[in-house]
Amino acid sequence: MARTKQDLRRRRILADVRELRGLDREHHFASGGTLEAWIGRHFVALDRRREDDRRRCRRPVEDE
């Protein structure tokens, strides 16, 4: 596969970013930072209408 100058430049930039990110991480933990502070909190906002529909269709059927 032929590599273009742009591909090589992009790879070098990504390698530099990874290296800087590693240094930032090392500094964060050396200064007493926590893993939660480094990663951040995971929050997913549910689409309420979709969630209500999903619950409704999975509700047990009541016999008459």
- Rounded to whole angstroms, how far apart are CA atoms 37 and 19? 20
In terms of pTM, does the model score above 0.95?
A: no
Q: Is the pLDDT confidence value at 1 over 60? A: no
Domain boundaries, the chain: 5-57
Rounded mean pLDDT of the chain?
A: 87
Taking only the tens place, the pLDDT of each residue in 26-49 is 999 999 999 989 887 777 788 899
- Rounded to whole angstroms, how far apart are CA atoms 25 and 38? 8
